[in-house]
């Protein structure tokens, strides 16, 4: 049976852990062995004793990286790659298209690697979809953070001193994060307007009580795996004009737009910012990939023209207990899908394996990555 090592996350502003005691116990009951780096779960409120009580072995960092399987959240650092055994299998987020240096190092080390962010977003893979589970929490927290920075409340309030109007919230994007943000803002009593260039999201937005900012679509809109891959400049111009009308009266604006492997699209240029009213709050959920707002800064709250721009780069990590629980369940389901009787199946006819396997014994599997690999680095 495979030995799974769970290291402590070393990335800045990270408080999650890839394995909770509950999930570790379930894997151990199926015959797997689980090792945890000492205090890896501490920031998620899971003590070493919590893990030891369910049969997890607490080890030093060096021993964790000698495990057959390394299960972690963020891409490994250069030093962490060097600690891995040459026949190890890594399971983590890799963002391979924008993280080619680490992919090269893993290849040189002859590591096999599955990328959690590359799991196909299909109904079969829903229970393994780390991006969705974390985006769900992020959408919720974006509204809470925005509300904390606002100088007013969300709901309408009728008092003897007068009536307070409900806050107006504008949300860019009706993906997993956007839909959760809509639901949260509506529960808090806000008026919610939503912009998405995919017309098929209108029904979902309305089902949650949001109002869809509608622009007549055109044949240029192309989507793939739930992401927009192409759209005409003319349509984008119409979309921005329609959204600007709502944004200039908004109390809270939340942006969620991401493009896999690329810089986040610019949705709020400084010209739009200048039209917005003082006191408005923007939560830029794409700040870690360049930002949807031109003036947002990673892990900072900045004020420009009286507008607060919140650039929290890792929103799920601000909810580490729930985020770790969901992540661990995703990873457990993924490991169980990939294995049979405690060993990897390496079934390339399986769409989940074929989509998420980045490296096999150091060999690049995905065609879209082969041009990014530096042969001289691998063979040196």
Tell me if residue 117 is catalytic: no
3-state helix vs strand vs coil in the chain, percent to 5 = 40, 20, 40
> Running DSSP on this structure, what letter comes out for residue 268?
B
Collapsing DSSP to helix, strand or coil, 87 comes out as coil
Q: Out of 198, 227, 350, 374, which one is annotated catalytic?
A: 227
Collapsing DSSP to helix, strand or coil, 131 comes out as helix
Tell me if residue 129 is catalytic: yes
Q: Which token pair is 217?
A: 């679509």
DSSP secondary structure string for all residues of 150-178: SSS-SS-EEETTEEEPPPEEEEE--SHHH
Q: Out of 85, 117, 121, 374, which one is annotated catalytic?
A: 121
Determine the Cα–Cα distance for residues 170 and 370; give it in Å rounded to an integer: 41
Determine the Cα–Cα distance for residues 92 and 97; give it in Å rounded to an integer: 14
Give the residue carrying structure tokens 């994060």. Answer: 177
Q: How far is CA 352 from the centre of its chain?
A: 19
Q: Out of 109, 112, 115, 132, which one is annotated catalytic?
A: 132
Determine the Cα–Cα distance for residues 14 and 44; give it in Å rounded to an integer: 10
Tell me if residue 132 is catalytic: yes
**Residues with catalytic annotation?**
121, 126, 129, 132, 227
């Amino acid at each position: 049976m495979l030995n799974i090592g769970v290291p402590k996350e070393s990335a800045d502003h990270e408080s999650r852990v890839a394995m909770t005691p509950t999930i570790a116990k379930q894997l151990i009951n199926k015959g797997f062995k689980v090792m945890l780096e000492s205090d890896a779960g501490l920031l998620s409120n899971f003590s070493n004793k919590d893990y030891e009580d369910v049969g997890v072995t607490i080890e030093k960092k060096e021993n964790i990286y000698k495990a057959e399987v390394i299960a972690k959240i963020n891409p490994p650092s250069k030093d962490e790659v060097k600690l891995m055994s040459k026949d190890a299998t890594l399971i983590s987020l890799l963002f391979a298209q924008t993280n080619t240096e680490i992919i090269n190092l893993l290849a040189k080390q002859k590591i096999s690697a599955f990328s959690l962010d590359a799991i196909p977003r299909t109904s079969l893979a829903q229970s393994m979809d780390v991006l969705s589970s974390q985006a769900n929490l992020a959408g919720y927290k974006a509204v809470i953070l925005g509300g904390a920075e606002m100088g007013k409340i969300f709901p309408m309030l009728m008092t003897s001193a007068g009536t307070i109007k409900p806050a107006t919230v504008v949300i860019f994007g009706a993906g997993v994060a956007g839909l959760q943000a809509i639901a949260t803002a509506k529960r808090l009593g806000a008026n919610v307007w939503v912009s998405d260039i995919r017309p098929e999201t209108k029904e979902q937005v309305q089902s949650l009580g949001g109002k869809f900012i509608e622009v007549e679509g055109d044949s240029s809109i192309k989507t793939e795996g739930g992401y927009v891959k192409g759209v005409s400049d003319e349509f984008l111009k119409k979309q921005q004009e329609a959204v600007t009308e709502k944004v200039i009266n908004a109390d809270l604006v939340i942006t969620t737009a991401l493009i896999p492997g690329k810089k986040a699209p610019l949705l709020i240029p400084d010209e739009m910012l200048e039209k917005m009213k003082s006191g408005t709050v923007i939560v830029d959920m794409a700040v870690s990939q360049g930002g949807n707002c031109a003036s947002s800064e990673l892990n900072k709250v900045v004020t420009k023209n009286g507008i607060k721009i919140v650039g929290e780069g890792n929103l799920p990590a601000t909810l580490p207990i729930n985020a770790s629980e969901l992540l661990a369940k995703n990873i457990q389901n993924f490991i169980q899908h990939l294995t049979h009787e405690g060993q990897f199946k390496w079934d390339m006819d399986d769409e989940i394996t074929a989509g998420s396997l980045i490296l096999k014994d150091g060999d690049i599997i995905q065609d879209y990555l082969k041009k990014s690999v530096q042969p001289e680095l691998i063979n040196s």
